[in-house]
A and B are shown apart, each in its own frame.
Chain A
Amino acid sequence: MTILSYLKALNRAIGDEMERDPAVCVFGEDVRVAVSNVTSGLVKRFGPERVLDMPISEQAFTGVATGAAMAGARPVIEYQIPALLFIAFEQIVNQAHKFSLMTGGQTSVPVTYLVPSSGSRDGWAGQHSDHPYSLFAHVGVKTVVPATPADAYGLLVTAIRDDDPVVVFAPAGAMGRRADVDLARLAPVPLGLGRIHRPGSDVTVVAVGHLVHDALEVAEELADTVDVEVFDPRSLYPFDWQGLAASLERTGRLVVVDDSNRSCGIGGEVLATAAETMRLVAPPRRVTRPDGAVLPFAEGLDRALQPTREQLRHAIQGVMKAGTTG
């Protein structure tokens, strides 16, 4: 077994796919020097023709990736900060995502959009701390948020091999994770297949990205009184609705913890779908950032808007109580 970091897992996934498929190439800002370390060593292995430093022009190079993909390439774009997705939104949502349907299936756009360190990274303030995965799930762009190094590897590999555009969010809160893994057993993880990190019989906690680890800690803390199942959807679009339904068959109670804004966020979608079609014995709850949150700079303010373990504990206890008295 080897200790694999989340960062190294991303790097390894790109390297392995470039090795396997000569059409895979990397676009991004400062990717040759690998300022984020995600692309470390790639230019040395694969040359500057396949690892391209781009001018600071996200709209153009995101659109270029679409055209390149339609002509046979499989670009992986690394964005330095999640806010750049807003600049490139038109190129991803309005162009890459729509081409297959609009052309009646004549083309596909296999581009991977990798967003390392999404969400709050300490002290980066308003324009660097968003976690816009719900926007992409809303428009139907395939969206994944790995929580562990093995899933980061497996989901990124799958994203690169996928014939559709896929956005891969690597949360800042997960980038520092390390795990003891057997490198030989690293494998692609299918999109739309959730993972139960901890089985339980009382309540299902759906946790997204780095919050999986918080959920596991809270589950352990409460182990004496509540048996918590921690369900990690891994991909938010497509979502593993069957896996969630099966979990709720066992528990009948639901809490979602999601580091994005409350209104129209993925947490709301999970609650709504569960309420419409799944077994619930108590009203579900969600723990999210507040509506329309913009993360303020000061540490205490930044933390104040992110979902906390305390809030999660409270929500779990709340659904348990509602389930018994109701």
Chain B
Amino acid sequence: MAEPVIATAAAVPVLAGTTAGGSVPEGLAAADSAKAGSVLAEAAAVSAEADSAPAPDSAALYRTVRLIRGFEQRAIELVRSRVIFGGIHPYTGQEAIAAGTCAALRADDLITSTHRGHGHVLAKGADPARMMAELAGRSTGLNRGRGGSMHAADFGIGILGANAIVGAAAPIATGAAWAARCAGSDRVVLTYFGDGAVSQGVVLETFNLAALWRAPVVFVCENNGFATTTRTQDAVAGSITARAEAFGIPAERVDGMDPEAVFAATARAVARARREEGPTLLECITYRHDAHHTWEHSARPRYRTPEEIELGRGVDPLDIQGARIDVARREQIDAEVEELLEAAVRFALDSPHPDPATALDFLYADGTTARAGAL
């Protein structure tokens, strides 16, 4: 039934500066905007120097950003119309990271993703129609409707799954990298996590292992300034890069709003990993334009001011990358993407819901069946 898609067992030869925490008091408008301003200003100052990375394909990067943006907008609409059950964590604003990192990977490289994973999964090449069907819980979805937004996976193209437990994918990626190398391949595994994950013990334990083994892993921290509503500076002592550096892992701060800056930094990190020089951490400074989760559209928790959000949205990877290609090409890509997404939504809505009698299918790889819950 379930077979390891990445490599069969037989294919593996001999395995050879903080402030006090607490919730943000209401009415801190001025202070909030100042903080937001500093995050974004820092981002712009970071990673200005690009070294010998291969030349980026500007149009392709723009297309990926456009695709993710459009996908998220449609997904949010489908949450509101209750086609998507439970809600999603929108990636809007952070698209430069998914686009730039995946563009620097080979098709056979692997990624692991997070609860905010749509962008990563699409950028790695998942079919938007099957992805939308997965979000809508249809049997044609990437995971046959068993995973939904937070678990989207496509092993056939190296997506080892989005993961809803903060930090949990880091060791999984490292294990996959180790096994891939043991199997004689030069694949690289790239793993995403937020700024919230750097306080999880398992991530730091994983840094230790990955550095000891010089595992071909690229750790991509998307620092969007918040873990749900908690500001990074209220949760992270010291710096994020220093956490990796303490284990001997080179770390770099990257402008996470600029797809080409992310691409260049990732290309360097991937090259290091392929040369068996070990892991790298990229701290991509970014800003989430939308809510933490679509639940926020109705609950409206107050943790950032309208001014801050406006300031944040003013920096947009879509504009940054769009400005790099000519207008005609841009319009052509926009039209193509629109058509693709239109078809994706139609495919999702037209797809069947899974049969409730199959709710525990795939629980065991060997087909073991579970006992019923009632007689």
Which A residues are within 8 Å of any B CB, using their own CB?
Answer: 21-23, 25, 47, 49-50, 54-55, 57, 59-74, 90-91, 94-95, 99-110, 140, 142, 162-164, 192, 238, 241, 276-277
Contacts and interface: CB of A to CB of B under 8 A. Distances in A.
Contacts of B2: 100, 103, 105-108, 163
Given A101-B146, A103-B143, A107-B155, A70 B9 contact: no
Given A64-B171, A67-B173, A71-B175, A101 B363 contact: yes
Contacts of B179: 67-69, 71-73
B172 A66 contact: yes
Interface in B335-375: 360-366, 368, 370-371, 375
A73 B5 contact: no
22 contacts: A21-B9, A47-B14, A57-B209, A59-B201, A63-B174, A64-B171, A64-B172, A67-B160, A67-B177, A70-B160, A71-B179, A95-B165, A100-B364, A101-B361, A103-B2, A103-B362, A105-B2, A106-B143, A107-B4, A107-B5, A164-B365, A192-B368
B11 interface: yes
Contacts of B250: none
A20 B206 CA distance: 30
Contacts of A142: 364, 368
Given A106-B143, A140-B363, 15 more contacts: A21-B9, A22-B14, A47-B14, A57-B205, A64-B172, A65-B175, A66-B172, A70-B155, A73-B9, A102-B146, A105-B2, A107-B2, A109-B365, A163-B2, A164-B368
Contact of A50 (B15, B170, B202): B15
A292 to B, nearest CB: 26
A97 to B, nearest CB: 9
A163 B366 contact: yes
Interface residues of B, number: 67
Contacts of A164: 364-366, 368
B180 interface: yes
B12 A73 contact: yes
B29 to A, nearest CB: 39
Contacts of A55: 205, 208-209, 212
B328 interface: no
Contact of A61 (B1, B9, B180, B209): B209
Contacts of A64: 171-172, 174-175, 178, 206, 209
B171 A73 contact: no
B151 interface: yes
Contacts of B7: 71-72
Nearest to A105: B362
Contacts of A238: 368
Interface in B204-231: 205-206, 208-209, 212
A106 B154 contact: yes
Contacts of B170: 63
B147 A62 contact: no
Contacts of B165: 90, 94-95
B176 interface: yes
B147 A102 contact: yes
Contacts of B3: 108
Given A63-B171, A63-B202, A64-B178, A107 B12 contact: no
Contacts of A49: 14-16, 182
B4 A102 contact: no
